Amino acid sequence: MKKKRKKLGRKLLSFVLTLVMLVGLMPVMSLTAYAATLGNESTTWSENSDIAGDVTINNNVTVNGDITLTIPEGKTLTINGQSDYESDAVIQCDYNSILTVSGGGTLIVNAPEEDGGHPPIDGIWGNLIVDGATVQVTGRADGVYGNVTVKSGLVCVNGGNGEAGGNGYSGISGVVIVNGGSITVIGGNGGNGDNYGNGGDGGYGVTGDVIVNGGSATITGGNGGTKGSDTYAFNGSFGQAVSGSITGNAEESGDNTNWTTVPGNTSEKQYIKIEHILVTGVALNKTTAQTIDIDEMVSFTATVSPDNAPDKTVKWSVGGTKADAVTLYSDEACETPVTLDTATETLTVYAKGISAGNATVTCTSNADSEKSASCNVTVNAYAGNPYASLVNTTTSVKFNDMDWYIIADDSTAVDAGTVTLLSKDPIGASKFHESQDSVYVYSISLVKGYLDSLTGTGGTFEAVADAIVTVKVKGSDSDSEVDAKLWLLSTSEAEGLSEDVRKCSTAMSYYWWLRSRGFDPNKAARVECEEGDVSSYGDNAWYEFGVRPALKLDLSKVTFDSSTKKFELTPVVEYPLWVGGVQVTSANKDDVLGDTDEGATVSYDVDTNKLTLNGVDIAAGYTEPGYNSTSGIYYSGNDSLSIVLSEDSDNKVGVTGNVQIGIESSRNITISGAGKLTVKGSGNYSVGIKAYALTMKDAEINVEGAFNGIQTQKYGYGVNIISGKVNAIGQTGTGIHSGMMDENYKTSAVTIGENATVVAIGGNKAINYLKNAIAGIGWTDPEDNTSKTTISISSEGQSIDTLKKMAFPELPASTVTTAPEANDLTFTGSAQELVTAGVASDGEMQYAIGTNTTTVPTTGWNASIPKGTDAGTYYVWYKAVGDDVHSDSEPKCIIVTIRAEGSGGDGAYVPSIPTSTTPAESYTVPVSNENTVNISTNISAGNAVVNEITQSDIDKIVDSEDAASTSKNKSITIDVSQAKSEVTSVQLTESTMEKLTEAVKADNHVDSVEIKMTNATVELDGKALDAVANQAEGNNIKLVVENTQTTKLNTAQQEALNQFT
């Protein structure tokens, strides 16, 4: 298809304004400040405007800045543009501004026919947002030259037709975004050819992208013009409906014909209709009523149609005559409740039976609230339910020596769940408020204060208050929600009761109060006692009426005699468990310590013998009769006790108080959970945790005692640390003591699993008997990191009594990142630093002076750089000493020599025999083949003095008979590396050096002289030998090698040897 030409400068606008038009996707405020009312002469719009009636403007309009034009419903604003040389459009928005047209009225924009040679102009030049209005735009060039966003309303845009043989103009030259409403766009037709010419091409419907997120868009390209009469002329091509891409939550309308699918790449169609994809329905996989028992569940899966609906989220809700009969969960284990009436992607839910009754499960499309599906669920009453037949009847029951009606049954068993009671008759009389000046507010009312006092100290319900559930109530929507154990019914709750139940004795008053607000602010609703009529109009709040409280009874804390219809408090069962000095009972097991710490709880499950700690700080303790010690947690039962730490909870026992034993049990204890526990025993011989046996896993546990940190009994099964993190300190005894007293009870070990992290510190020993699946590190002195030793894995058990600190697993080693180097030193008579400072990572550099290069010093390690004063050889050892979470690096040694003081004025080295630090040794290099001669040496303090080597010895080694022959040895080797004593320097006579030099320089193919010492080899070729010989003074030459990297000669010799050594 041929492309049309357009004014290039203006073509840039559709790209420049794309970002600006994204505003059309954003929410805007619904209130607009109107500053101007337009009239027939209003041709410049600079502020938000509206019209009072129908208005016609016969001129072009300029819009300065972003403004909103509001056209009231039933009103029309018509703008008939004028053709001139100054205007590009009927409505021209300057500086990329945006015109928003709102309201229910109509805007009509007509571009003029070409007149007097004036060029055709656009309908609107700029960005257009339509929000609720009807907009009709006809251009003689482009209909709209800019981006168009339709939020709601109706939009129709037409491009201009081409002249004879000319191309048609675009309907919209820009991007179209449809979020609602509808838009129709038509490109202009191509002009017909003249007598011999081609027909013009049709204009595009839309030149940019079309994004349909809602509503619909119908777009048509212009028709091509008819060719002229010339045989070779051509008809014009039709214009594409959309030149850009088509995206969004939309699809082609079903009435489209003759083209393929739309989304994705550009469509070369002349006509296209795009409609927002609507949700057509919601279905549940179960449609017939479901019946389940309490604690059973039934699943529901929703299907949202069509499959390509852009919004498939739903809202779940539960209604029916007893909506709380079921609870919806998102998982089959029924652990995660579904948030009702909230959009979710969860399409499968599980309805669990909570109490007897009928509920309706409903799934509603989030995109269209008219599309939903429901299913009824009946939850059967449990067998033998004694309460169901009494609900909302006048058969009364007894509680707290008073008569009550059961008005709601939420029981899940005879002794589980709740029932709601309403007193049969008023139990007293009270004003709702104190005076007529009071305004109705139930949350702070006089009558609520009266009811609260009944469950308080000295109240008639004090003894049974623990069996009454605390609920949330409020008097009206504007009232505050407050806690209550006894409360008044609301108007709707009273109306839901039978008339007979609402009736009561008039002994107190002719009326009884409800908590709902009456007709006036100082009135409250009430019920007439004799007739049971509910008055929502109410009465003056300062009147004194009867009080009939309701309460919710916790069935787990009472027993019910179905023959006498009487509730009595369940006898309290005491359990052999004390927490913070409080004995755990059937009455307090759900919250053992009560409201001692907001948000912190201790609960006990008697069926599983599990104690759950959730962020508690237990300071007090229990003292068993006949003993002097107190225990923060004390257990004397026969079964193993499980202590579970709630996730992310931080729990303390004995940390802030003064207990001798933090946790004590006569049986096995297992401590687990994803929380933290800190336990401390105070006083002489105190213990953090003391049990028959102890298992720990997953948790972070810190234990400390003045004697032992953790202690199990002699004949128990020890301590088993499976996983988690355990730190145990026994200040004077053992960090972790397994109860192991002799080799006959090896089962009583401290067992450390491969997934555990353990640190044990004891004043006597860290751990008395150990079985460890992972290696560790031990210290003889917990304060001295240099005393570390590796603890190997042991499955059989091991005793390491010398270690007072152990850590598992084995710590990663610290590293020496920059090794120290030997300093080049000459005797001065003063102490000199022997090495440069090293650098350690994850630890501290420490040094010590040893006696040789193989024996690591056991004492003298510190962070100071060692110094030496006397001339001689020093063995400086160094390592990185790890911090608390790193072990030490491997020790290494550097040999450092302080040379004797020079003489002769030029600083040349004068060899001297150092004072012997090791026994002198006479050493002869062994003969290894026929070309080897014996060389005798005297070794002392690391220095090998080589006796005179004769010419015959050298000749035997070289063995060259003529210049053409090859020596049997390519080098002459003096090897003292195998001596018993360490050799770090070799001393040769001047005469020997001369012979060696001549042997190498002679034409006998000997390349060099090798001198092998204990820690290095020095190789000297002829040039090097010359350099050494020339620098020698006196009768001897001494070569000193510090390590394999550095050769120590005097300065002049070193410079000569730099390229050889």
Residue 938 has a pLDDT of 77
Residue 268 in any domain: the answer is yes
Residue with tokens 């026919």: 113
Residue 38 has a pLDDT of 86
User: In the predicted model, is pLDDT for residue 981 greater than 90?
Assistant: no
CA distances from 222 to 64, 185, 1052 (A): 32, 10, 98
pLDDT tens sequence across 538-587? 999 999 999 999 999 999 899 999 999 999 998 889 999 999 999 999 88
- Phi, psi (degrees; rounded to nearest 5) at 577: -145, 130
| Same structural domain, 553 and 628 | no
Residue 299: name the closest of 341, 347, 266 by CA. Answer: 347
Residue 1002 has a pLDDT of 63
Considering only 264-273, 551-560, 731-740, which range has the smallest mean pLDDT? 264-273
CA distances from 931 to 50, 320, 946, 960, 986 (A): 119, 112, 19, 12, 22
- The mean per-residue pLDDT over the stretch 777-793 comes to 82
Whole-prediction pTM: 0.44
Residue 1037 has a pLDDT of 61
Boundary (domain end) residue, out of 235, 261, 276: 276
Rg of the Cα atoms in the chain: 50
pLDDT tens sequence across 145-191? 999 999 999 999 999 999 888 999 999 999 999 998 999 999 999 99
DSSP 364: E
Residues 6+ away with beta carbon under 8 Å from 189 = 161, 162, 168, 200, 202, 203, 222, 223, 224, 225
Residue 1048 has a pLDDT of 41
- Residue 481 to residue 515: CA distance in whole angstroms: 12
- Residue 272 to residue 268: CA distance in whole angstroms: 10
Element holding 995 (H helix, E strand)? helix 990-1001
pLDDT tens sequence across 926-960? 444 445 666 777 777 778 887 777 777 777 766 54
| Same structural domain, 186 and 121 | yes
- Residue 799 to residue 23: CA distance in whole angstroms: 76
> How is the beta sheet containing 558-561 ordered, strand by strand?
550-554, 416-423, 402-413, 397-399, 566-569, 558-561
Residue 684: name the closest of 655, 663, 707, 654 by CA. Answer: 707
- The mean per-residue pLDDT over the stretch 480-490 comes to 96
User: In the predicted model, is pLDDT for residue 589 greater than 60?
Assistant: yes
- Mean pLDDT (the chain) is 84
Residue 983: name the closest of 1039, 1060, 1058 by CA. Answer: 1039
DSSP 24: G
Residue 973 has a pLDDT of 79
Residue 491 has a pLDDT of 96
Boundary (domain end) residue, out of 380, 403, 424: 380
User: In the predicted model, is pLDDT for residue 346 greater than 90?
Assistant: yes
Residue 495, helix vs strand vs coil: helix
Q: How confident is the model at residue 1049 (pLDDT cuts 50, 70, 90)?
A: very low
Q: How confident is the model at residue 839 (pLDDT cuts 50, 70, 90)?
A: very high
Considering only 276-290, 459-473, 915-929, 995-1009, which range has the smallest mean pLDDT? 915-929
User: In the predicted model, is pLDDT for residue 639 greater than 60?
Assistant: yes
Residue 436 has a pLDDT of 73
Residue 528 in any domain: the answer is yes
Residue 476 in any domain: the answer is yes
- Residue 379 to residue 294: CA distance in whole angstroms: 6
Residue with tokens 């009811």: 451
378 and 355 Cβ atoms separated by less than 8 Å: no
- Residue 793 to residue 798: CA distance in whole angstroms: 9
- Residue 910 to residue 897: CA distance in whole angstroms: 14
Residue 925 in any domain: the answer is yes
591 and 601 Cβ atoms separated by less than 8 Å: yes
Q: How confident is the model at residue 278 (pLDDT cuts 50, 70, 90)?
A: confident
- Residue 349 to residue 21: CA distance in whole angstroms: 41
Q: What DSSP assignment string belongs to 704-736?
A: EESSEEEEE-TTS--EEEEEEEEEEEESSSEEE
Residues 6+ away with beta carbon under 8 Å from 463 = 400, 569
From the number of C-beta atoms within 10 Å of its C-beta (0-12, 13-18, 19+), residue 964 rates as exposed
Residue 85 has a pLDDT of 74
| Same structural domain, 231 and 349 | no
User: In the predicted model, is pLDDT for residue 7 greater than 50?
Assistant: no
Residue with tokens 């004799």: 530
Residue 491: name the closest of 534, 543, 446 by CA. Answer: 534
| Same structural domain, 60 and 84 | yes
Range of 946's domain?
921-1057
| Same structural domain, 557 and 671 | no
From the number of C-beta atoms within 10 Å of its C-beta (0-12, 13-18, 19+), residue 1034 rates as middle
| Same structural domain, 393 and 481 | yes
| Helix 951-958 / helix 990-1001 crossing angle, nearest 10 deg | 30
Boundary (domain end) residue, out of 245, 276, 307: 276
Residue 2 in any domain: the answer is no
Q: Which of 332-336, 518-522, 593-597 has the highest mean pLDDT?
A: 332-336
| Same structural domain, 396 and 252 | no
First to last CA, the chain: 82
pLDDT tens sequence across 878-908? 999 888 777 788 899 999 989 876 433 333 3
Residue 392 has a pLDDT of 94
Residue 744 has a pLDDT of 52
From the number of C-beta atoms within 10 Å of its C-beta (0-12, 13-18, 19+), residue 395 rates as exposed
Residue 954 has a pLDDT of 75
519 and 540 Cβ atoms separated by less than 8 Å: no
- Residue 821 to residue 823: CA distance in whole angstroms: 6
What's the distance, CA 417 to chain centroid? 37
Residue 367 has a pLDDT of 87
Residue 1030 has a pLDDT of 59
CATH code of the domain in which 308 resides: 2.60.40.1080
Residue 3 in any domain: the answer is no
User: In the predicted model, is pLDDT for residue 991 greater than 90?
Assistant: no
578 and 567 Cβ atoms separated by less than 8 Å: no
Q: Which of 195-199, 394-398, 823-827 has the highest mean pLDDT?
A: 394-398
Residue type, 486: L
71 and 49 Cβ atoms separated by less than 8 Å: no
Q: CA 546, 550, 553 angle in degrees (round to 5)?
A: 150
Q: How confident is the model at residue 1029 (pLDDT cuts 50, 70, 90)?
A: low
Residue 657 in any domain: the answer is yes
Residue type, 1050: N
Residue 512 has a pLDDT of 97
| Same structural domain, 544 and 655 | no
Considering only 9-18, 30-39, 534-543, 691-700, which range has the smallest mean pLDDT? 9-18
Q: Residues of the chain with pLDDT > 90: what percent?
A: 56
Considering only 332-336, 598-602, 680-684, which range has the smallest mean pLDDT? 598-602
CATH code of the domain in which 863 resides: 2.60.40
Sort residue 178 into left (φ over 0), alpha (ψ -120 to 50) or beta. beta
User: In the predicted model, is pLDDT for residue 5 greater than 50?
Assistant: no
* Structure-token pair, residue 696: 């720990």
Residue 882: name the closest of 995, 1008, 789, 949 by CA. Answer: 789
Q: Residues of the chain with pLDDT > 70: what percent?
A: 84
* Rounded-to-5 percentages of helix, strand, coil across the chain: 10, 40, 50
User: In the predicted model, is pLDDT for residue 966 greater than 50?
Assistant: no
CA distances from 49 to 36, 38, 39, 296, 1010 (A): 5, 7, 10, 64, 104
Residue 567 in any domain: the answer is no
User: In the predicted model, is pLDDT for residue 31 greater than 50?
Assistant: no
Residues 6+ away with beta carbon under 8 Å from 1007 = 970, 971, 1000, 1021
| Same structural domain, 733 and 759 | yes
| Same structural domain, 354 and 399 | no
| Same structural domain, 126 and 231 | yes
Into how many domains does the chain fold? 6
What's the distance, CA 42 to chain centroid? 59
- The mean per-residue pLDDT over the stretch 117-137 comes to 93
| Same structural domain, 405 and 422 | yes
